[in-house]
Amino acid sequence: MSKGICYSDSNGEQWQLSQSQFGVMGFSAGGHLAATGATHFAQPMIGSYDAKMLRPAFQILIYPVISMEANITHEGSRHLLLGEQPEAALVRAYSNELQATEQTPPAYIVHANDDSVVVVDNALEYYAALREKNVAVRMLLLEEGGHGFGMRHKVDWFAGVLDWVKA
C-alpha cells in the first residue's frame, strides 16, 4: 500500500500512520521542490488544504538548488521555473533561503564542496537561514563528489540520514 503524497487525518488512523512520518526529500532541482514545500506550506494553493496538513515533518535535501538569486542559483532551474527574465518578487519568493521561518521543518542537507553544477553556497545559505530561525538542521559537506553522486558516493551519507530520521 502506498503512503501517498498528502497526509489526511481522516485516513491516518485507518492506515496506522502519523503525520510525523511524512517528510520531503529531493535531489538537485527536486531539492528545490522539497525545500519549497518546506517553506511555502503556509500558503496553500488549493483551498481545501490547510497549512497543518501540508507541512512536512522534515526535509532531506541532497545537493539542492535552494536559491533563485542570480549569484548562486542553477541557471537552468531558474529559467525553467521562473522564465528568462523573472521579476524580482518572483525570484525572492522562490529563493527558499529567504523564506525560512520558525515553522520550517527540520532539515538534513548533503552537498559536495566541489559541486560545479549547483554550487554549495545554496546549501550554506539555507543552512544559515534555518539556524537564524532556530530550526533544527544538520548538514554533511563532502569534500568531493561533484553533482549527482546520488547513492554512489564513497561516504555512506544515507546512513546518517536514516539515523537522523530515526532520532
Beta strand segments in 50-163, E: 59-62, 107-112, 137-142
Considering the domain boundaries, does residue 120 fall inside one?
yes
Considering the domain boundaries, does residue 11 fall inside one?
no
**Any long-range contacts for 72-81 (C-beta under 8 Å, 24+ apart)?**
72/119, 72/121, 72/122, 72/125, 73/122, 74/28, 74/29, 74/117, 74/118, 74/122, 77/28, 77/29, 77/32, 80/29, 81/32
Considering the domain boundaries, does residue 25 fall inside one?
yes
pLDDT digits (tens, 9 = 90+) for 6-44: 444 556 667 666 666 789 999 999 999 999 999 998 876
The CATH number assigned to the domain holding 104 equals 3.40.50.1820
163 three-class SS = helix
**CA dist., res. 53 & res. 38, Å (int):** 12
pTM higher than the cut 0.85: yes
- The reported pLDDT for the residue numbered 64 is 98
- The reported pLDDT for the residue numbered 150 is 86
Considering the domain boundaries, does residue 59 fall inside one?
yes
Q: Is the pLDDT of residue 119 over 90?
A: yes
Q: Which domain does 32 fall in, by range?
A: 16-166
| Structural domains in the chain (count) | 1
List the beta bridge partners of residue 111: 141
Considering the domain boundaries, does residue 6 fall inside one?
no
Considering the domain boundaries, does residue 2 fall inside one?
no
